Each structure stands twice: as structure tokens, then as C-alpha cells.
Amino acid sequence: MEAIDLLMIGFGALMEPSRLGFLMLGVILGLLVGVIPGVGGTTGVAILLPITVFLEPTSALIMLAGIYWGSMYGGLITSILFGVPGNPWSVATMFDGRPLALQGKAGLAMATGFWVSFVGAIIASLLFTFFAVPFAGMALRFGPPEMFAVLMIAFGTFIGMGGAPVKALIMIAAGFLLSTVGLDVVTGQPRLTFGSIDMLTGFHFVPVTIGLFGVGEVLTNAAERYKVQIEEMTRAAKLGLHDITAGGAAVVKHWWLAASSALLGFVTGILPGAGATPASFMAYGFAQKTSKHPERFGKGAIEGVIAPEAANNAAGTGAILPMLVLGIPGSPTAAILMAGVFMWGFTPGPRLFVEQPEFVWAFIASLYLANVGAIVICLTATPLLAMMLRTPYAIMAPVIVVLCFVGGYAIQNSMLDVWYVLIFGIVGFILRRLDYPLAPFVVALVLGPLTEEALRQSLIMSDGSMLIFVQRPLSTPIAIVAILLFLLPLLQMVWRRLRARRQEMLQQR
């Protein structure tokens, strides 16, 4: 097939020692940046972009790919080890990854995360290689109504997610409300700021999440230290190569979940504006909904690590597709990559495939190679990383807190955000004690602005008519799926009542 021949040419261009060296360097830098909370992802890649200016295009390309992928892998390290999300798309990994670490299984969680990230990225890369053009066409027809429908699916998967339903509802409403603070997108009016200038920036989800989960976790651990100590749990667990094989085995066992999450992630990543973050939440929600043991999620179910990690890496790959093929970046991080492509004198878009095939296919080949490089480095480092949890609590706690401060400040260089970290840490502690589920809150906070913007843009397009969601060919099926998801708990309840009544009638006879 033509695609494979071109791919081989791409690989050939990359297989030089110096270029492979740049790849590894890029991966390590990307990992470092992905690990620093709050900086991982878009900011991190943007910071490292200038390093590649001095290299010739193909080496710069492979290094940038390494950085991009390293940051995608790195975020899960702090999510699992410390409960501090390293970048936005690692928040969902944290929901089950951190409990696993608390049970002494940090090495297993990380190894599984790395393996499934690799699998997700490779599946996405294969889809990219062979189906670039049809998927790109889909990206073109994607507008606000489709975006809203997709986000409704994301919310639909989170209905019924852990905890008492009333408390989940409160958390979703609170998360949404928090996301509306600040300037209104459409009219420009300040909302919920109560006259304060500081509140105009609103609540960025990174400091809030770092506070709720990072500092909240530190406080919860402190209060429970008379019962359980993490260093003891980790010391008790054996560390070593068997974690790596166990991680691989877990991915093989749940191969269907990994593959479907990767597909979901890839499609979500292609859609402009929806990147790895919504993809990871959706995959988590779907995994919980379709699992045989949904109650295990949030307490250390390995599926809760597999689904979001497969999805976010696949989405990261998918986001590059419209960037390369159409010149429309699929996610903020892909936009940075696009800046890099411009920097080297290329113009992304349909002509690039025709005029510069060596560059394009070298880029696609770099997707595979960067992932191989990343997984090799990550898996080798896994036992060392897991050992970090053995450090005495008196050292770990301040380090985690300082990391939280760094993460909170790095987003907007605002001291107020660091205060938010502290305040939400206390709030997170209290809410956890009272069994308020934090996950719906975070999802609402992250996806809220996107959802509201999409809805209002759609309604502007349709002059106020809600029918637009079922009038467009692409959004109609998505909207129907979303509606079904919302109605599902209701339908299930009705079904169960009917069955119970039928059984009663049968027994009475």
C-alpha cells in the first residue's frame, strides 16, 4: 500500500543516530515538563519550542514530537504518585491512580498507564496513517452544535458517578457555577464577580483541582496517619520488573477497553477545540458505565487508569491530524506544534501532503518513534519513581505542597491562585469527609465553559432555536446518543420498577 511505502521513507529519514538522540532528549524534557504540575501540556511544549529553533527541520521535528509525547506521558506520574495532576488530561487518571498508589500499587498503576498510553497512541497513529483524509473531512464539518452534543455525551457518562445522587448534583452545579465566574464570553459582562477586579479572571480549573486533590489529599492523609502510612504500604509492596510485566498484562486483559477508549480519544482529538482533556473524562465515564463493577471506580480500579490514559494519548495524536491536513489545530498543544511547523518554513494544510511528502511522512513516522522512545524511558524509570513513595512523610508532605504552590502559580502568575490552592484544599478535605464526590465537580469546572460557549454559539447560529442540534447531519446522531445517556438512569429505574411489580404479581398468584 502506498501509505506504508511512504511511512517507510519517513522512518528512513529519522533513523540516524543524531536524530534519535534528539528524540530521546525531547522525550526526557517533555517528561520533566509534564511532571511539573500546572506547567505540563501546552505551556510546557511552548516553553520548549524555542530549543528546536537551532536544529534543522527534521531533527527539530523529531525533538518536538518527543517533547509533545513526553509531556503526555509525564502527567500521569504526579497524578498517581502524589495525587497532584501534572496536566489537565491526567486528572481523570488520578481518580483511580492515586487510590492504587495508596494501596501500595503505585508501580503497577504507572506501568499500566505507560503501557496503555503507548497502545492508545499507536492505535491512533495507525488510524492517522491510513485514514487521515476521511477523518479530516469530518473535522471540517464540526461546529458549535456538534461540540455541544459531544460535551453532553461527556456529561451524560458522568451522571450516576459515585456518591449519593443529590450530592453529585450539587457538585456538578457548583462546578458549573464556579466556571461561570468571570467575564461572560458572549456579552462581555462580568458575572458573579461582585465588583471585585481580582475575580474577573475567574477560577481556573488547575489551581482549583490542585487544591482539591493535591492539598486536600495531603490533609486527608495527615488526618489518617494514625491509621495508614503510605511509606509502609509502599515498603510492603515489592518493587521491580514484575510491575512492568503486570502492567502489560493488565492492558492485555482489558484490551477491548483500551482499544475502544483509544478510538474514542482519537475521534475526540480530531474535533477542533476538544482535545485530550474531554476525551479522558469521557473515556473514564464510559468505562465506569460499561463496567461490571462500577462501584470499584474511584477506589483503585485499574480500568479507571486504562480508559483515560488510552484516550488522552490517542486524542493527543488525533489533535495533530487536522493540524497537519487542514491547518486547523485540534487542541491548544497541537497549535504550539503548528507554530513549530511554521517556524521551519512549512505551511500545514492540504498542500503540505502534496508538496512536502517527506516532511509529512517523517512527522507521522515520528509519532511512532517518539512513543517507543517514551515508553522505553518511562518503563525503565517506573521502579525508581515508585520508590519515591517510600520517602518519609516529613519530606514528602512539604514537597507535595510546594509542588502544588508551583502548579497553582505557574498557570497565570497570580498569587490569588495559590490562595485558591489552599482554600480548595481545606474545602476538599471537608467535602471528602462528607462523601461529596469531587469528580463531577472537576468535570463540570473543566468542561463548563466549553459547554456554555458551544450552546450559546449554536443558539446564535440558529437564532434561538434549540432544534439546531437535530437539524445538522453530524450533530443529530451525537445528540441522540447524549439524550439516551441522560435518560438511561431514568429508564433503568422504570425498568426495575416494572420488573419488581411483575415479580410481585407472579408471587401473588
Partner 1 sequence: MHLGAGPEDKKHEQAANGKTIPPIWLRTSQHAVEVSVAIVLLALGGLVFYDAIRLGPGWGESGPQPGFFPFVLTLFLVAGAAGVLVQSLMKPDRRPFFEVPREVEDLLKVGIPIAIAVLAVRWAGLYVTSGVYLALFMAWYGRFRWYQALAGGILLPGIMWMTLREGFNISMPMSMFYRSGILPF
Q: How far apart (Å, rounded) are the C-alpha atoms in residues 496 and 482?
A: 22
Give the bridge partners for 182, in sequence order.
Answer: 191
Task: Decide: is 172 part of the binding site for partner 1 (CB under 8 A).
Answer: yes
Q: How far is the CB of 72 from partner 1 (least distance, A)?
A: 17
Task: Decide: is 394 part of the binding site for partner 1 (CB under 8 A).
Answer: yes
| Beta carbon nearer to partner 1, 384 or 415 | 415
- Residue 177, classified by CB atoms within 10 Å of its CB into exposed (0-12), middle (13-18) or buried (19+), is middle
Q: How far apart (Å, rounded) are the C-alpha atoms in residues 76 and 58?
A: 29
| Beta carbon nearer to partner 1, 45 or 301 | 45
Task: Decide: is 455 part of the binding site for partner 1 (CB under 8 A).
Answer: yes
Q: Phi and psi at residue 190, in whole multiples of 5°?
A: -75, 135
Q: How far is the CB of 36 from partner 1 (least distance, A)?
A: 7
Following DSSP, what letter does each residue of 9-74 receive, concatenated?
A: HHHHHH-SHHHHHHHHHHHHHHHHHHHSTTTTTHHHHHHHGGGGGGS-HHHHHHHHHHHHHHHHHH
C-alpha cell belonging to residue 310: 488510552
Radius of gyration of the chain (CA): 23
Q: Phi and psi at residue 191, in whole multiples of 5°?
A: -120, 135
Question: What's 261-317 look like in SS3?
Answer: HHHHHHHHHHCCCCCHHHHHHHHHHHHHHCCCCHHHCCCCCCHHHHHHHHHHHHHHH
Residues 415-434 that bind partner 1 (CB under 8 A): 415, 418-419, 421-422, 425-426, 430-431, 433-434
Task: Decide: is 406 part of the binding site for partner 1 (CB under 8 A).
Answer: yes
Cβ-based neighbour number of residue 72 at 10 Å: 32
**CA angle, 284 then 288 then 294, to 5°:** 145
Task: Decide: is 53 part of the binding site for partner 1 (CB under 8 A).
Answer: no
| Beta carbon nearer to partner 1, 13 or 33 | 33
Q: How far is the CB of 58 from partner 1 (least distance, A)?
A: 25
Q: How far is the CB of 219 from partner 1 (least distance, A)?
A: 6
Contact between 207 and 421 under an 8 Å Cβ cutoff? The reply is: yes
Helix (H) / strand (E) containing 85: none
Residues 217-276 that bind partner 1 (CB under 8 A): 218-219, 222-226
Q: x-or-dash pattern for partner 1, window 106-135, by CB under 8 A?
A: ------------------------------
Q: How far is the CB of 88 from partner 1 (least distance, A)?
A: 17
Candidates 237-245, 282-290, 334-342, 411-419: pick the segment binding partner 1 (CB under 8 A): 411-419
Q: How far is the CB of 131 from partner 1 (least distance, A)?
A: 36
# chain residues binding partner 1, by CB under 8 A: 64
Q: Is 195 left (phi over 0), alpha (psi -120 to 50) or beta?
A: left
Candidates 262-270, 294-302, 368-376, 406-414: pick the segment binding partner 1 (CB under 8 A): 406-414
Task: Decide: is 211 part of the binding site for partner 1 (CB under 8 A).
Answer: no
Contact residues for partner 1, defined by CB under 8 A: 32-33, 36, 39, 44, 47-48, 166-167, 169-170, 172-174, 176-177, 180, 184, 186-187, 189, 191-192, 194, 215, 218-219, 222-226, 392-395, 397-399, 401-402, 405-406, 409-410, 413, 415, 418-419, 421-422, 425-426, 430-431, 433-434, 452, 455-456, 459-460, 463-464
